[in-house]
Chain A
Amino acid sequence: MNRRTLLGSAAIALLTATTAFAESHSADGEPLKVGFVYVGPVGDGGWTYEHNEGRLAVEEEFGDAVETVFQENVPEGADAERVMTQMALSGADLIFTTSFGYMDPTMNVAAKFPDVKFEHATGYKTSDNVSNYSARFYEGRMIQGHIAGKMTESNKIGYIASFPIPEVIRGINAAYLAAKAVNPDVEFNVVWAFTWFDPAKEADAATALIEQGADVILQHTDSTAPQAAAQAANENGANIITFGQASDMGEYAPLPRVSSIIDNWSPYYIDRVQAVMDGTWESQSIWHGIDEGMVGIGEISDAVPEDVKAEALEMRDAIAAGELHPFTGPINKQDGSVWLAEGETADDGTLLGMDFYVEGLTGDIPN
């Protein structure tokens, strides 16, 4: 036996031992190990904060029957693959990977660990042991867009975007269509930050937009920095409104934050952990919205006029009841070509792969 074979068999033996160990865990009443991979710190006050709330809800629900582990600030890319592999090797039975950029790393690692279940947030790929789940944030953004369109005085709305992926583009389109519907003069200025989390850059982006006349700031980045920047501008005489993103961000209410879209992952996480415990876990694709409670609308503050608030709440209820779809025709694409005919609503396939602006938005989407 040469050295290479020896090492190889040693590695296989080790792997088998680890797998056997992991299986024996669930069999003899050891706690189910659930891993979470986060893109930002749990204290970001936004996206990662809410995923961590979901993790805490799982602990609360199952007590000693589960053991959760998490890793924060994991860059999207090769590092993510390393972190997931590490989690799987250390005996995790179920791993939630909570950012779009983890999609391919999740698929790669899942292929190597067929006995471990993976759940990827906001992606579109699945396999036997990989599910994906996402929330219909665009439903909440339609409501934000409505309030924004009604309340802007300069008719300039600033939008801090993270990465040019379908989820972000959908949000811009949904907010723009709703704002345009109530205010034909409205104009969107989109700034791409190319980061999910960099408070200083997010604050700079908000400041640049405010200095150029935007009086509403929408964001698709994960920290509360844009709210803080708007608050500072308001102290110097401006009148800016913002919206909480992913989390309520209620500490900035009533101004500048006038409402928010909240991600509520807890029920889903509890469900899926239960499914693994019961042995009923199966790969699936879930896309839930306001109706199922995965997307929540944070309290609309008193800074919003009564009638606008009432319209926004009505809109929320209509979306929940399935009577209103944010993408209902007639809608043209940016280049003027017809996308949806009168009364037609967008199908999920198109929405999931959305890579175009709707008519009226200016600028190009980066590749």
Chain B
Amino acid sequence: MDLSAISPALLVASLMAAATPILLAALGELVVERSGVLNLGVEGMMIVGAICGFAAAVESGSPALGFAIGAVGGALLSLIFAVLVLVFLANQVATGLALTLFGLGLSSLLGQGYVGIKPPSTPRLDLGPLSDLPFLGRAIFSHDAIVYLSLGVVVSVWLFLTRTRAGLRLRAVGENHDAAHALGLPVVAMRFAAIAFGGALAGLGGAYLSLVRVPQWTEGMTAGAGWIALAIVVFASWRAGRVLVGAYLFGGVTVLQLNLQAAGSALPVEYLSMSPYIITIVVLVVISASHKRGSAAPASLGKPFHATQ
């Protein structure tokens, strides 16, 4: 085994890139679930974001526009879900699953002409002297804007949910929509907004996958990333900080195990391969067990809401 072949700085750098799509999608889903809606269509919204972003970036030559269109694509798809479950009171689980299947089909249709094309490369953000720091410069301060944006979203979501009036209302809607409605809160409108926000972040995560992490368009390229994002939200017990821990841990262990294999590690490959799933789940469960308070799911999660009066 030649562990010196693994560069810690490059490892941290690839960890951050590997975790970003899942982190974005999970944060979006966190807000949706906090509002009391269970949207299992994350995978579908991600892949639609991936192709919309890819197509827009290729056509315009601008990765920034690609990310924006990716987010819009994810949000538009999520609005179909919103109309079905909020207006027509369709079953959230079935509608979410259908959204994933629809998204996978729609994306391969949209992506027909984009197989084998190279996207414009996304520039790294120039952080001046920070990027020249030894180790840290390469590991942390040499990324594109979306990586830092995703970290900003973690903080914003946390601040929003815990420190703002609007966030408090959103959580109230998620805990007990009948009581919130009785207090005069616009339950349906708030859930519409939360679902669109979740769709936009999933779409952005998908666009990051097709524009930076792989980078190319291939049918079905999310390959389960949306499901991992959904699982991380649950194991993070609906908290933004823990979602960050979960996503970085998952991305980190995935990249680390591939690096260990490439370096000829003596650990059996089977264990290395399953390690990202096991370690992430164990760590998140341990974290939430040590903080007993308020770790349960939003009380109205998945329940249909119909204002009778």
Known A-B contacts A45-B116, A212-B262, A251-B116; the reply to A197 vs B220 at CB < 8 A is yes
Question: With an 8 A cutoff between CB atoms, is A198 at the interface?
Answer: yes
Contact A191 B258 (CB under 8 A): yes
Encode contact with B along A200-213: 1 for CB under 8 Å, 0 otherwise.
Answer: 11011101110111
Q: How far is the CA of A43 from the CA of B51 in the complex (A)?
A: 13
Rounded to whole Å, the gap between the CB of A48 and the closest CB of chain B is: 9
Question: With an 8 A cutoff between CB atoms, is A347 at the interface?
Answer: no
Contact B14 A212 (CB under 8 A): no
Contact residues, A187-221 vs B (CB, 8 A): 189-192, 194-195, 197-201, 203-205, 207-209, 211-214
Contact residues, B246-286 vs A (CB, 8 A): 254-255, 258-259, 261-264, 268-270, 273
Which residue of A73, A199, A208, A235 contacts B214 across the interface (Cβ within 8 Å)? A199
Rounded to whole Å, the gap between the CB of B63 and the closest CB of chain A is: 13
Chain A, Cβ-Cβ closest to B108: A43
Residue among A72, A204, A214 facing the most chain B CB atoms (10 A cut-off): A204
Question: With an 8 A cutoff between CB atoms, is B10 at the interface?
Answer: yes
Contact residues, B173-225 vs A (CB, 8 A): 209, 213-216, 218-225
Contact A43 B111 (CB under 8 A): yes
Q: When A and B form their complex, what is the total count of cross-chain residue pairs whose Cβ atoms lie within 8 Å?
A: 120
Which residue of A43, A189, A232, A364 contacts B115 across the interface (Cβ within 8 Å)? A43
Which residue of A72, A204, A251, A364 contacts B18 across the interface (Cβ within 8 Å)? A204
Rounded to whole Å, the gap between the CB of A179 and the closest CB of chain B is: 17
Encode contact with A along B7-50: 1 for CB under 8 Å, 0 otherwise.
Answer: 10010001000100100000000000000000000000000000
Contact B6 A223 (CB under 8 A): no
Question: With an 8 A cutoff between CB atoms, is B117 at the interface?
Answer: yes
Question: With an 8 A cutoff between CB atoms, is B121 at the interface?
Answer: yes
Rounded to whole Å, the gap between the CB of A184 and the closest CB of chain B is: 19
Contact B258 A204 (CB under 8 A): yes
Contact A205 B258 (CB under 8 A): yes
Which residue of B209, B218, B270 contacts A224 across the interface (Cβ within 8 Å)? B218
> Which residues on the A side are within 8 Å of B273 (C-beta)?
192, 194
Question: With an 8 A cutoff between CB atoms, is B163 at the interface?
Answer: no
Question: With an 8 A cutoff between CB atoms, is B306 at the interface?
Answer: no
Contact A207 B121 (CB under 8 A): no
Contact B259 A223 (CB under 8 A): no
Rounded to whole Å, the gap between the CB of A196 and the closest CB of chain B is: 10
Q: How far is the CA of A205 from the CA of B112 in the complex (A)?
A: 26
Contact B262 A208 (CB under 8 A): yes
Contact A204 B116 (CB under 8 A): no
> Which residues on the A side are within 8 Å of B259 (C-beta)?
208, 211-212
Contact A208 B255 (CB under 8 A): yes
Question: With an 8 A cutoff between CB atoms, is A9 at the interface?
Answer: no
Q: How far is the CA of A199 from the CA of B18 in the complex (A)?
A: 12
Rounded to whole Å, the gap between the CB of B235 and the closest CB of chain A is: 20
Which residue of B7, B112, B220 contacts A44 across the interface (Cβ within 8 Å)? B220
Contact A228 B215 (CB under 8 A): yes
Rounded to whole Å, the gap between the CB of A249 and the closest CB of chain B is: 8
Contact A231 B269 (CB under 8 A): no
Contact B255 A204 (CB under 8 A): yes
Chain B, Cβ-Cβ closest to A367: B270
> Which residues on the A side are within 8 Å of B216 (C-beta)?
199, 224-225, 228
Question: With an 8 A cutoff between CB atoms, is A328 at the interface?
Answer: no
Rounded to whole Å, the gap between the CB of B155 and the closest CB of chain A is: 25
Rounded to whole Å, the gap between the CB of A12 and the closest CB of chain B is: 33
Contact B118 A204 (CB under 8 A): no
> Which residues on the A side are within 8 Å of B104 (C-beta)?
73
Chain B, Cβ-Cβ closest to A203: B214
Rounded to whole Å, the gap between the CB of B203 and the closest CB of chain A is: 16
Contact A232 B219 (CB under 8 A): no
Contact A212 B263 (CB under 8 A): yes
Known A-B contacts A200-B221, A232-B215; the reply to A366 vs B270 at CB < 8 A is yes
Question: With an 8 A cutoff between CB atoms, is B149 at the interface?
Answer: no
Which residue of B220, B225, B263, B270 contacts A40 across the interface (Cβ within 8 Å)? B220
> Which residues on the B side are within 8 Å of A252 (C-beta)?
116
> Which residues on the B side are within 8 Å of A42 (C-beta)?
108, 219
Q: How far is the CA of A212 from the CA of B258 in the complex (A)?
A: 11
Q: How far is the CA of A191 from the CA of B269 in the complex (A)?
A: 9
Q: How far is the CA of A362 from the CA of B261 in the complex (A)?
A: 11
Q: How far is the CA of A224 from the CA of B217 in the complex (A)?
A: 9
Contact B121 A201 (CB under 8 A): no
Q: What would 15 A/B residue contacts be, using CB atoms closer than 8 Å? A: A41-B219, A191-B261, A195-B223, A198-B224, A199-B223, A200-B213, A200-B225, A201-B258, A205-B258, A209-B262, A224-B116, A225-B216, A251-B116, A364-B269, A366-B268
The 7 closest A-B pairs by CB, nearest first: A43-B219, A251-B116, A41-B219, A41-B220, A228-B216, A198-B223, A212-B5
Identify 11 new A-B residue pairs, CB closer than 8 A, beyond the known A43-B219, A200-B221, A203-B214: A41-B220, A42-B219, A73-B220, A197-B223, A199-B223, A200-B21, A201-B258, A207-B14, A211-B259, A225-B221, A251-B115
